[in-house]
Amino acid sequence: MLWECVSILAFAGISVILILEVFRRPKNFPPGPSRIWSTMAQFKKNPLGALMLCKEKYGPVVGLKIGEFRVVILNDPADITKAFGNKSLNSRPPFLPAMIYVGGENHGTLTSSDEVWKAVRNCMVKSMGSLHTSPINGEASLTLSHDMEPLKELLERLSNPVSKEKLSLAELRSKLYIPIANHVWHVLTGEEIPEENKAGLQQQLVALQKALWQPISSPVWFLPTSAKRLPSTRTLLQEIKKAVDPLHAMVEEMVQETQKNGDDDSKTFSQAFLRGCRSYPCLRGYEAVHLKGAFFTLWHTAAETVGNLMAWTILWLSLYPEVQRKLAQELGQTDILDLMSLPYARAVIQEVLRLSSTAPFANFHWSVEDYKLGNGMVIPKGTVVIGNLFGVHHDPSVWPDVEVFRPERFLENEGGEENRAKVLLPFSAGLRTCPGQNFARNFILYALSQVLKDFQFSWDPQQARPTPEEIMDKSLVSIFRFVPDFKIVVRKREE
């Protein structure tokens, strides 16, 4: 009797929940898995695989719930480009780690929207000057070469024939922190980070890496602000804050220095930025806060993402020795400083960006008002919007031999860079595209030209080559997709 009651009650309860779920879907919300048959478990195990499944099952636009957030996934590159170019979707979700990362709401471009965002973005892009266009040469290349010494020493040691040790891709990534951080700092401020501070900075960057890049399924991302009070979430958030504080202090000091010295000559990024702020009434009184936010985001994101991309590049080159040989030859034949003018090298970078898809979700957008899609569906205000860039770059109907690393697909005589470029969106699309993308490409080619001169990288012949599934399983997927920590064999280049 009791059992019957319990099961009837349970049945009634489940039906009510189901009915509520059906009615909770906003009108014209795109189709997708309902919360009851939650994709959460799948998403936790393999977030990129879950996105691919959703795309297969529900088509170009998918609506669902992840944690407490309503989410729409855009799978079609044309939809992504159009949507992210519209100001209705031009904001970022209120993810707690992002707020702590940049210092709060309305700090720089990351946590601002509307008019303020537009003004800050304008100041930022105008003040970036050489950073987002010019190749690395002259004085900059000398200091960079100096900062890369520890990496070269490591490679030297590992390439010794008696050494049985291999190169960890995670270590490669962290060895690049200082060269990149110092280089960007130098370009932005005109000054270098003092030699004696570099070791401490290296440790802080590693600490932040550990605290910040929680898997994308971690509650810190998809929980509402009120969940700050949960003890486990609070601990994670406090760790991020502890790790980011010393880096903020460093930037803060630089900002104060700039304010003290005045911005009359606009020679550096910071001077130009402060000066630029004066043209926008909406920024008045908040110049220092925005400079701090914009500077920190540019500087830290560069150190994180460019090092990661370089490590991915070494992974692909070690798996494809023929590509490595051709690339080393092209880079070695020229002393042109504008490495981006080399066709094969350019194609290699494009293919690295496609296969690695290091910003697989287009860094998440947020709708500040309802947005109507071409097919009549609606993304309601307050929705997280994912541009499924991983899916765009791994669509077998667009890319033949989709999992094969083949830079030739980007060469003119192989069917056209023009066509392919349309669907390659590694730095996202629309209003919030990454302003540092040429910097990233230039830096990686520069770093490659430095290491491929003397060393070659190969997959350990004792180990089976990783399958695409293994590469997927072993890469940490957070806001960015980080290189799996495979171990690579390093040898001296003989040629």
Ligand X SMILES: *[C@@H]1O[C@H](CO)[C@@H](O)[C@H](O)[C@H]1NC(C)=O
Which residues are near ligand X by CB under 6 A?
86, 88, 371-372
Q: What minimum distance in Å lies between the beta carbon of 66 and ligand X?
A: 23
**Comparison of 59 and 380: residue with beta carbon closer to ligand X:** 380
Nearer to ligand X, 88 or 137 (CB): 88
35: left (phi over 0), alpha (psi -120 to 50) or beta: alpha
Nearer to ligand X, 241 or 381 (CB): 381
3-state SS, 128-194, equals HHHHHCCCCCHHHHHHHHHHCHHHHHHHHHHHCCCCCCCEEHHHHHHHCHHHHHHHHHHHHHCCCCC
- Contact by Cβ (8 Å): 386, 359: no
β-bridge pairing 384-387 and 69-74: parallel
We find the least distance from the C-beta atom of residue 385 to ligand X, in angstroms, to be: 12
CB of 83 to ligand X, least distance (A): 8
Q: Minimal distance in Å, beta carbon 335 to ligand X?
A: 46
Q: How far is the CB of 86 from ligand X (least distance, A)?
A: 4
Kindly state the smallest distance separating residue 65's Cβ from ligand X, in Å: 22
Of the candidates 447, 433, 334, 343, the residue with the CA atom closest to the CA atom of residue 125: 433
CB nearer to ligand X: pick between 85 and 246: 85
Q: Please indicate if the annotation marks 54 as binding a ligand.
A: no
Helix (H, G, I), strand (E, B) or coil at 304: helix
Closest CB to ligand X among residues 261, 375: 375
In the bound state with ligand X, the residue whose beta carbon lies nearer, of 86 and 233, is: 86
| 181, 205 contact by CB (below 8 A) | yes
**How does strand 455-458 pair with strand 384-387?**
unpaired
Helix (H, G, I), strand (E, B) or coil at 489: strand
458's enclosing H/E stretch is strand 455-458
Q: Where are the beta strands (DSSP E) in 35-160?
A: 61-66, 69-74
Residues making up the annotated binding site for heme are: 434
Residues making up the annotated binding site are: 434
